[in-house]
Amino acid sequence: MAKLVWFRDDLRTLDNPALFHACEKDEGQVFAIYVISPTQWLRHHWSPSRIGLIRRRIEALTAELAALNIGLTVLMADTYSEIPELIASHCQANDIDHLFINKEVGFNEGKRDREVKAALQLLGVATVAYDTRAILPPGSVLTGKGKPFSVFTPFKKAWLRLFSSAGVSCLPRPKARQCHTLSSSNNEASSWPENINVNNSQTVTEEQILGTLRQFVAEKVNDYHTDRDVPSIAGTSALSPFLAIGAISARQCIARLLYQVSGDLSALSEGENVWLSELVWRDFYRHLIEAYPRLSMHRSFKPAYDSLQWCNDAQLFQQWCDGLTGYPLVDAGMRQLKHTGWMHNRLRMVVASFLTKHLLIDWRWGERYFMQQLVDGDLAANNGGWQWAASTGADSVPYFRIFNPLLQAKRFDPDGSFIRKWVPELKSLAVPEIFEPHKKGRNLLAGDYPMPVVIHAEARQRALAFYKGINDATLP
């Protein structure tokens, strides 16, 4: 009999419980599969750049598994509903008696896995699942009353207490199998969507990705608390695309961070602590989306906010998408997203606040558009970030947090270099004119750059009136 490892959002050989435990005993054959689901990916708004990264990572993973004498076969099931029968047939054809998987985030993914398990049970095939959805598994960090946390700061305190006791230990890469199980089947190359963006400069091998992690922790993390907010500086880890597809685990990230300080959390620098907080934020949103399945169903975390009647002006939304709002920092961020499939985190907050608070457009429109563009699109983080910006989510600050895009530009792009890069029609303008190219009384050469679609002060008052009356304290 043989064992089967089904790769999903865990495209790595290191710290991969499903792969490690399938190979734990050097007996029997081990096969691996990955399933392409084009229509399902479209329903989930996966971007071409994300799918392109997955394809290139699959190519590298195939070689890495081959070095372990494990063959990876790429199968195709157009939607999740087709997967149970597909995997059942594959198990029968290869005499499989155990399927090994790592759990995924999301309601549809959980439903799919339950249906696969049921289909395999009829064949006498056991399903073995491991929880790698977060550093600390969803449901393990709870309040004193045994409920999920709805605010980040107390969640982080409880998370740190548990983590300090449990620690972190990443699983090694399995040893090479004694028996060869390499597959000669066609890896369904023709089944990949045609419009994917394959960025040939993007690193995809496991060693390259680990090198990015090591370099960031060794050279940049101590300045992370300041550099991460400046979009013109490459001060972030650049690991988010790989975390999103599971080419590296968050456990590996935190393990590397602790290695720098010999495992002593109290010895972390300010920059290291801020990066640790970002990893905990990732866990927070994953815990939330598992505790409240409606977050996977386009519902607000705070139920009262489902009653908001958004303005949803389609023309304004398109101007926001195209980076033509007349607010240079907002437009620079949106153009960066469209051109690269990525956006600096500070700008994600600024543009999300602008869409929901200045334009009063439903956060779900922005959430969907981001997923359609982002190479690092992540269901839990994207949903959590958009609901945070719209004040419909898990946040201790009431709805009156409204980012001023002008002040944000002056603070985080003080010399205007990021704006000049992405809004070239303003590149000849000096500071401070570049922040307000159409300011009354100034004869500026702003080219065809549009006038502001709204006036900040007026938009702020309109937003406050729009949200007023909703019980902001209403929680699930």
pLDDT tens figures, 17-54? 999 999 998 778 999 999 999 999 999 999 999 999 99
> Do 430 and 313 belong together in one domain?
yes
In a domain, 179, yes or no: no
Inside any domain, residue 359: yes
pLDDT score of 475 = 45
Task: Report the CATH number at residue 210.
Answer: 1.25.40.80
pLDDT in the model for residue 115: 98
Say if residue 362 is in the same domain as residue 453: yes
| Residue 249 and residue 226 share a domain | yes
- Edge to edge, what strands does the sheet with 96-102 contain? 71-76, 29-36, 2-7, 96-102, 126-130
Q: Please indicate, yes or no, if residue 45 is contained in any of the structural domains.
A: yes
Residue 275 lies inside a defined structural domain of this protein: yes
Two tokens, residue 236:
């972030």
Same-domain check for residues 221 and 360: no
Q: Is residue 440 situated within a structural domain?
A: yes
Domain carrying residue 160: 133-170+206-291
Question: Catalytic amino acids?
Answer: 278, 281, 310, 345, 363, 386
Domain-embedded: residue 390: yes
Residues of the chain with pLDDT under 50: 184, 186, 441, 443, 473-475
Q: Closest Cα to residue 283, out of 129, 130, 132, 113?
A: 132
In the listed set 291, 311, 342, which residue is the last one of a domain according to the structure? 291
Here the tokens at position 169 are 């230990």
Query: How buried is 456 (Cβ within 10 angstroms: 0-12 exposed, 13-18 middle, 19+ buried)?
Result: middle
Assess whether 356 and 381 both reside in one domain.
yes
Regarding whether 445 and 398 lie in a shared domain, the answer is yes
Q: Coil, strand or helix: which one is 148?
A: strand
Q: Burial, 167: exposed, middle or buried (Cβ in 10 Å; 0-12, 13-18, 19+)? A: exposed
Which pLDDT score, from 0 to 100, does residue 396 have? 73
**Is residue 13 a contact partner of residue 68, using CB atoms and an 8 Å limit?**
yes
Residue 74 lies in a domain: yes
Whether residue 148 lies inside any domain: the answer is yes
CA 332 remoteness from chain centre: 21
Same domain (yes/no): 21, 139: no
- Predicted local distance difference test score (pLDDT) of residue 184: 44
> Do 327 and 432 share a domain, yes or no?
yes
* Shared domain check, 115 and 18: yes
CATH number at residue 347: 1.10.579.10
Helices (H), ranges, 354-393: 363-373, 379-390
Query: Which CATH number characterizes residue 42's domain?
Result: 3.40.50.620
Angle at 248 between CA 279 and CA 275, to 5 degrees: 25
Altogether, the residues listed in the chain come to a count of 476
pLDDT value at residue 25: 80
Asked whether residue 326 falls in the same domain as residue 414, the answer is yes
Domains of the chain: total: 3
Alpha-carbon separation of residue 268 from 150, 253, 262 (angstroms): 26, 14, 10
Single out the residue in 132, 160, 195 at which a domain terminates: 132
Same domain, 460 and 326: yes
Residues 139 and 265 in one domain: yes
Nearest 10 degrees: Cα torsion 455, 458, 461, 466:
-80
Please, how many CA atoms are within 13 Å of residue 219, restricted to the half-sphere of its CB?
10
Does the pTM surpass 0.75? The reply is: yes
Distance CA 41, CA 34 (A): 14
Q: Which of 270, 291, 312 is the last residue of a domain?
A: 291
Q: Is 224 exposed, middle or buried (0-12, 13-18, 19+ CB in 10 A)?
A: buried
